[in-house]
Structure 1
Amino acid sequence: MVASDIVNISRPLTEMARLQPDTPAIIFPQEKRSLTFRELDQESDRIADGLGRIGIGRGTRVALLVPPSPELFALTFALFKAGSVPVFIDPGIGARNMKGCLAEAEPVAFIGIPKAHVARRLLGWGRGSIRINVVVGGGSFWGGVPLDEVRRSAQPAPFVAANTLRDDVAAILFTSGSTGAPKGAIYSHGTFAAQVEALRELYDIRPGEIDLPTFPLFALFAPALGMTALIPQMDFTRPGSVDPRKILGPAAEYSATTMFGSPALLNRVGRFGESHGSMFPHIKRVISAGAPVPASVLKRFAALLPDDAEIFTPYGATEALPVSSIGSREILAETGAMTGEGHGVCVGYPVASISLAIIPVSDAPIDEWSDDLSLPPLEVGEIAVCGPQVSRAYLNRPEATRMAKIPDADGTIWHRMGDVGYRDKSGRIWFCGRKSHRVVTSGETLYTIPVEGVFNTHPAVFRTALVGVGMLGSQQPVLCVELEKKAGKPEQERIRQELLELGSRYPHTRGIRTILFHPAFPVDIRHNAKIFREKLAIWARDARS
């Protein structure tokens, strides 16, 4: 073993504590709480040492159910330092899915706020595996060791981080379950390190910047990148319902230079800013992910930014991030109009550390990688990626791993994104939707994004969703429509006819004749942007019968 084999994702925090000890690492403006890099490093040292004294050490799998707070940051880095394996599960997935995820993850320890411990006890979460409980923000009454007690038990000497290796498991991150049951992606310390480095290089992020993240997992990247994480007051499970003033105010007061927000959040804040003349005076870059961002949303939000700022829309998934990226200038100048003509959504060029291929669409596993799988430019297929920021397997899901991962002879793993798309002649990647959402009729295969892009250009339309009714191979395409504002039957009929005329202009939308109006699409809880098309398909089937 050489020194380069030792990778622990907590080390960037310790390095930043050395380089900029008095710079704030995290700020919670609504609570008037903050920790410098030195304080966060020292606090995570204390917690790591204290956790070890109650049996949470290297390799211990730990369910972590703590909302964004100084405690979440300190606990996360403490677990990384100890070589423990935090299990991250979005609380918005619901109690039933939470129980399933915990049963699958088999954590030995459970660290959570009192509310989480009540649910654990009442609903039987992790009953077969959990034997150590830690309570954050409460006493032992809630069924565990109080975090304050863990802190007090620590020795004053600095904690020495575990010499974890690049391939050692660092965390389990569960997917949102927006296209099926949530799955636990296994992250190594090397995976995290590659992600941090890719984000740093891709967006030229510098230590000392101020980040305003509106998604908890991305907030945890900020200290590792040397940025101050400015945590806004919001319900992180419902970004589309955020109070725009709670975003705009802190961004201006603390001179935020970077912001992460889902398309739903950008849409809400952008509309508010447009109507109130608000601005983000210091922002250099905005990063938005979770679903394609409509050009209209980008244009509206970009108007709130300084002239030299840009909105970036990286493409990726829990299992692989970032894969590619594109900026708002290119979208608004070129590719956004092409999306409206049915070309799909351009997600830019693959990042330098990623190998990307378009392979034939198939619902069967692929047992071995071959370069012969790669399709030529302009041909639609499934997107497959390989690189250091790509996770290699799912936890306790051998069949899901077999379906999504393709082993290469050199020992690397290709991940099938589950998305369809194509590479244009210049090498840019165009996203055409989820593979599982394709509509296969008796005469053609329709992909969601190229179809919806055409109909989304209608000014009365907020968004559309193509679904298939019936069996694959003989499905009937149905376009579900959510309008910008409510409309009566006569108005809906007028819009229907205009949409049919719009669809008649393009070969791939000409055959769509059934249009149904839906009051509000069901969307994922994580980003409020991914449409639950499976639910819409059932609704469309029932509405037609």
Structure 2
Amino acid sequence: MSISQRNIADRLKQSAQAWPFQKAVVFATGQDKQGRYAYSSLTFQQLDQESDRLARGLIQLGVQPGTRMALMVRPSLEFIALTFALFKAGAVIILIDPGMGRKNIMRCLAEVEPEGFVAIPLAQLIRKLKHRSFPKAHLNVTVGKPVLTSGIDYQWLLGGEWEPFEMVPRSATDPAAVIFTSGSTGPPKGVAYEHGMFWSQVDLLRDYYQIQPGEVDLPGFPLFALFNSAMGVTTVVPDMDPTKPAQVDPEKIIRQINDQGVTQAFGSPAMWNRIGRYCEQHQIQLPSLKRVLSAGAPVPVHVIQRMRQTFTNSVTDISTPYGATESLPVASICGRDVLEKTSAQTQSGAGTCVGTPFPGVQIKIIQIHNEPIESLENAVELPAGEIGEIIVQGPMATREYFQRPEATQLAKIPDGDRFWHRMGDVGYRDAEGKLWFCGRKAHMLETRQGCMFTICCEAIFNQHPRVYRSALVGVGSKPNQKPVIIAEPEQGDYPENQTARDQFTQELLVLGKANPLTDSIETVLFHRALPVDIRHNVKIFREKLTPWAEKQVK
């Protein structure tokens, strides 16, 4: 296949040709009285042929190259088959986190103007009730037991027996999907993905982590099943609600890891926090694992320590790829390096080291700027050790937000025939070239004493053994914000009376006063459960905390 022809679904076809009888997807269909799982599965050949049949059905339905189709199906064999079928038919898939709430979902969908829905019955019912919001949505498929629908369902799409199918050719720059950001710092935005970007992501992740065909992956984020199928890796769909990783049942995940001999697993730090604590409490190890990946926010040291205790192989580690919906992956660091080389600096306020860039990915640190930057020449690059905006350039960086020219202009910096993506994060490169993350640009405080960066300051208070996590917010307006630290104590350690609160507060203020980064903080608040983002359940939702803190301080 020529470089110009890059339909990402061709990677599944390649896997089916190379490993036809290897399992591609494994799905738990239920548990018996002894808690044993029953599994349903598709081989790579079966998945490829099922998605061929579905793609033919989609084209018969009226899907054409570039047709925007909202995919709202729970993680399952059908979800993965439909994803590849839509790619094969040349459609542009719209993916939205169901956890972002009905209001946000409706706004995001209306903004993208889908021409059809491949969705569960409830989503189709809502589409019918809100039909004025989706005037173009005429190509609709119900996945599940149809209720008040036309009868166009999964079985209808499958049609007759499999016959060879020629997928719709797509070039590297043709649109493949619109994936929405989690909206942790503002309204969710649709990120326009091209087929070539998915190809680059697959290659970068496979080569960097040395992922081999025949491995078995349990992805806590459903879309990562796409990468697995493109690498010849078996996907075990985890028995969990992907929108609530912080509430995952550790027993279920551990059972699936052991049942299927999972060699790799991806999840947010919130998911591994639950599983690591459970394994520590019950002295459980996970011998099949070769690597664990965690992303979405900096992974706390205690999560890394607990997960590393579950590994029996000395080369197994937990790695944390750094990136964003708009640009993934950017950099990576392994747990061993965090514990042995960077965690002490993090605790003293140096930020979180997110490692070295992936091959082919360039990173620069520029002077912090809140307006569009017309060209790279207008950006002031900073020397090593100086905190600024993180910008990246590489084949995995997305070009634009869908129908959001102003947001695109703000996030992209032209550089000749290339562009740089502004991550929206602040950080610095050290003398060795490693990247350190200091927080979101939008969360930076401007006080009379100067700028304060959330991740740097919070780490100082997180050292307290009874603090699970903390959040730095600013009360008042810039540049005269008053810094306030909000601590979420470990379970069972919340101060229930004034004496306990005063004592805990004093201990935290002493920690703060001992470091010049935090010695100006005079106010400590306690929160039982800090609000977090809907995708990873780990990014602290400071936009919600600030008004709460303002009320407490008054």
Q: Same fold (TM over 0.5)?
A: yes
Matching residue of 2:6: 7
Q: Is the 8 A contact 2:245 2:270 kept in 1?
A: yes
Q: Is the 8 A contact 1:325 1:349 kept in 2?
A: yes
Distance in 1, Cα, partners of 2:429 & 2:378 = 16
Distance in 2, Cα, partners of 1:543 & 1:124 = 43
Where structure 2 has 5 or more consecutive residues not aligned to the other structure, the ranges are 31-38
Matching residue of 2:480: 474
Number of equivalent positions: 542
Within the alignment, does 1:181 sit opposite 2:173 as a pair? no
Within the alignment, does 1:540 sit opposite 2:549 as a pair? yes
Distance in 2, Cα, partners of 1:158 & 1:497 = 71
Query: Residues 47-95 of structure 1, C-alpha deviation per residue, up to 9 Å, x if partnerless?
Result: 0001100101211110000010111001000111111100011011111
Tell me how far 1:126 sits from its aligned partner: 4.3
Quick one: which of 275, 282, 302 aligns to 1:269? 275
Q: Is the 8 A contact 1:132 1:144 kept in 2?
A: no
Matching residue of 2:362: 355
Q: What aligned pairs does 1:282-301 form with structure 2 within 5 A after superposition?
A: 282-301=288-307
Distance in 1, Cα, partners of 2:195 & 2:80 = 17
Quick one: which of 254, 270, 285 aligns to 1:248? 254
CA pair 318-125 structure 1, distance change in 2 beyond 3 A: farther
Distance in 1, Cα, partners of 2:102 & 2:201 = 30
Distance in 1, Cα, partners of 2:453 & 2:190 = 27
Matching residue of 1:129: 136
Within the alignment, does 1:522 sit opposite 2:531 as a pair? yes
Query: Residues 4-58 of structure 1, C-alpha deviation per residue, up to 9 Å, x if partnerless?
Result: 2111111111111111111100001344211000000000000000110010121
Q: Is the 8 A contact 1:99 1:125 kept in 2?
A: no
Tell me how far 1:171 sits from its aligned partner: 0.7
Q: What aligned pairs does 1:60-75 form with structure 2 within 5 A after superposition?
A: 60-75=67-82
SS state at 1:414 partner = strand
| Residue identity opposite 1:487 in structure 2 | P
Q: What aligned pairs does 1:314-329 form with structure 2 within 5 A after superposition?
A: 314-329=321-336
| Residue identity opposite 1:8 in structure 2 | N
Q: Is the 8 A contact 1:133 1:144 kept in 2?
A: no
Matching residue of 2:501: 492
Distance in 2, Cα, partners of 1:46 & 1:274 = 46
Q: Is the 8 A contact 2:216 2:234 kept in 1?
A: yes
Matching residue of 1:202: 208
Q: Is the 8 A contact 2:487 2:527 kept in 1?
A: yes
Distance in 2, Cα, partners of 1:450 & 1:482 = 17
Distance in 1, Cα, partners of 2:93 & 2:215 = 27
Query: Residues 239-295 of structure 1, C-alpha deviation per residue, up to 9 Å, x if partnerless?
Result: 111110111111012111000011001000111000111111110000000011011
Matching residue of 1:50: 57
Distance in 2, Cα, partners of 1:122 & 1:521 = 35
Q: Is the 8 A contact 2:373 2:379 kept in 1?
A: no
CA pair 125-80 structure 1, distance change in 2 beyond 3 A: farther
| Residue identity opposite 1:82 in structure 2 | A
Q: What aligned pairs does 1:157-168 form with structure 2 within 5 A after superposition?
A: 157-168=163-174
Moved more, 140-149 or 217-226: 140-149
Tell me how far 1:125 sits from its aligned partner: 7.5
Tell me how far 1:297 sits from its aligned partner: 1.1
Query: Residues 299-318 of structure 1, C-alpha deviation per residue, up to 9 Å, x if partnerless?
Result: 01110112320000010000
Distance in 1, Cα, partners of 2:364 & 2:204 = 19
Within the alignment, does 1:346 sit opposite 2:371 as a pair? no
Tell me how far 1:128 sits from its aligned partner: 2.4
Distance in 1, Cα, partners of 2:348 & 2:72 = 44
Distance in 2, Cα, partners of 1:127 & 1:365 = 32
Q: Is the 8 A contact 1:30 1:232 kept in 2?
A: no
SS state at 1:27 partner = strand
Distance in 2, Cα, partners of 1:80 & 1:184 = 18
Tell me how far 1:140 sits from its aligned partner: 6.3
Tell me how far 1:201 sits from its aligned partner: 0.8
Q: Is the 8 A contact 1:86 1:170 kept in 2?
A: yes
Q: Is the 8 A contact 1:383 1:417 kept in 2?
A: yes
Quick one: which of 221, 234, 237 aligns to 1:231? 237
Q: What aligned pairs does 1:36-185 form with structure 2 within 5 A after superposition?
A: 36-124=43-131, 126-139=133-146, 141-143=148-150, 145-152=152-159, 156-185=162-191
Tell me how far 1:141 sits from its aligned partner: 2.6
Quick one: which of 459, 462, 478 aligns to 1:456? 462
Distance in 1, Cα, partners of 2:284 & 2:471 = 32
| Residue identity opposite 1:232 in structure 2 | P
Q: What aligned pairs does 1:421-460 form with structure 2 within 5 A after superposition?
A: 421-460=427-466
Matching residue of 1:193: 199
Matching residue of 2:34: none
SS state at 1:338 partner = helix
Tell me how far 1:416 sits from its aligned partner: 0.3
Q: Is the 8 A contact 1:110 1:130 kept in 2?
A: yes
SS state at 1:58 partner = coil
Matching residue of 1:392: 399
Distance in 2, Cα, partners of 1:148 & 1:141 = 17
Q: TM-score, normalised by structure 2?
A: 0.96
Matching residue of 1:28: 27
Q: Is the 8 A contact 2:362 2:394 kept in 1?
A: yes
| Residue identity opposite 1:265 in structure 2 | M
Distance in 1, Cα, partners of 2:199 & 2:527 = 43
Distance in 2, Cα, partners of 1:460 & 1:46 = 56
Distance in 1, Cα, partners of 2:311 & 2:133 = 46
Quick one: which of 305, 312, 315 aligns to 2:319? 312
Matching residue of 1:510: 519
Q: Is the 8 A contact 1:202 1:351 kept in 2?
A: yes
Distance in 1, Cα, partners of 2:117 & 2:377 = 42
Q: Is the 8 A contact 2:447 2:483 kept in 1?
A: yes
Distance in 1, Cα, partners of 2:162 & 2:225 = 28
Q: Is the 8 A contact 2:181 2:325 kept in 1?
A: yes
Distance in 2, Cα, partners of 1:463 & 1:480 = 9
Tell me how far 1:104 sits from its aligned partner: 1.1
Distance in 1, Cα, partners of 2:468 & 2:352 = 17
SS state at 2:45 partner = helix
Q: TM-score, normalised by structure 1?
A: 0.97
Query: Residues 462-508 of structure 1, C-alpha deviation per residue, up to 9 Å, x if partnerless?
Result: 00000011112111111011000322232222121111111111111
Distance in 1, Cα, partners of 2:150 & 2:448 = 58
Query: Residues 165-187 of structure 1, C-alpha deviation per residue, up to 9 Å, x if partnerless?
Result: 01111111110111111111111
Tell me how far 1:155 sits from its aligned partner: 6.9
